[in-house]
Structure 1
Amino acid sequence: MGYISDIRKYVGHMPIQHTAASVIVENEKGEILLQKRTDNGTWSYCGGAVELFERVEDAAARELLEETGLKALSLELFGIFSGEEQHYIYPNGDEVSTIDIVYICKSFSGELKCQPEEVLELRFFGIDEIPENISPPTCEPLRKYMEYRRGAMF
């Protein structure tokens, strides 16, 4: 399964520190790719747990490929997000304090393909068309990204 699943065997649902690697994919139109999650029905960027001894950038590229079918040709570090905004309780009761290392990917190849276990839908959205039902742990990073993009437009 993976590192987090192994830890959960010992700690159950109690809070754990969770390192995540995530990717905000931006297409040539400046739209960003979001995925509708199977676990809570909300929208989020791609990402997931960094496995034990895995490089964070490799984890980001792996998660992008697994969840969307896209291969990152380049990744640019956007930011590291932690703290109270990254506290989350999953629908199954697992509680995490996430350190989310978020990359931007503007160069990619492949065809969009949902990972059925985790992703209901994949769709590109304009920066002013982001849906309201965003997965709670991705709200703050997406807000910062939109501020960054709006600042870059002027």
Structure 2
Amino acid sequence: MGKKFQLCGASVIIYKDNKVLLQQRKDNKCWGYHGGSVEMGEKVEDAARRELLEETGLIANRLELYGVFSGSEQYHMYPDGNEAYIIDIVYLCNDFMGEVHIQESEVLQLKWFDYDKIPDKLSPPIKSVLIKFCNEKIRQLSEQ
């Protein structure tokens, strides 16, 4: 039986040209945005930048706080049986530089998706946040 714990995460939703960049995770084969655990003593924004660079090769020039997400929707059981309740501080970024490349130890692939064509198989703890973001973008586009 795995351990139960609370985890503080820092994440980044990368978007441009009416598309969002998602990664397919190696551990559960699900799609999601980029992020990971905040290390002891690390600033949350620095953790978000670090995770983005590690997972995608991209450097965030500017991050905008999207929100802090917690509660039962952020529950995740890892393939090893460990269970986490995640407090996810999510940033948005459409001002970035660098070449996209995969962190082979954690990521199967990186792919740009239209807001209305995101994959069905989303990683459980990011699902509600990503759908909220994409729906907001779709609404903004329809109002233009």
TM-score (norm 2): 0.95
Q: In 1, distance between residues paired with 2:55 and 2:65?
A: 19
Deviation at 1:13, TM superposition (A): 2.6
- 1:78-103 CA-to-partner distances (Å, cap 9, x unmatched) read 11111000111100111100001111
Alignment of 1:3-152 (within 5 A): 13-27=2-16, 29-152=17-140
Encode CA deviations 1:51-110: one digit per residue, 9 max, x unaligned. Answer: 011110000000000000000001001111110001111001111000011111101111
Structure 2 Cα separation of the partners of residues 110 and 146 of structure 1 = 24
- The residue identity in structure 1 corresponding to 2:137 is R
Structure 2: which 5+ runs fail to align?
Answer: none
Runs of at least 4 residues off by over 6 Å: none
Unaligned runs of 5+ in 1: 1-11
Q: Distance in 1 between matches of 2:71 and 2:63?
A: 24
Deviations 1:97-132 (A, max 9, x none): 000111111011110110011000001101011010
Q: In structure 2, the residue corresponding to 1:61 is in which secondary structure?
A: helix
Q: Which has the higher strand share?
A: 2
Between the two proteins, the alignment pairs up a number of residues equal to 142
- 3-state SS of the aligned residue for 1:128? helix
Cα pair 2:116 2:138 within 8 Å, conserved: no
Identity over the aligned pairs, expressed in percent?
49
What RMSD, in angstroms, separates the aligned Cα atoms of the two structures? Answer: 1.1
Once the two structures are TM-superposed, the CA of residue 144 in structure 1 deviates from its matched residue by 1.3
Name the CA distance, whole Å, in 2 between partners of 1:150 and 1:80.
Answer: 22
TM-score, normalisation: structure 1: 0.89
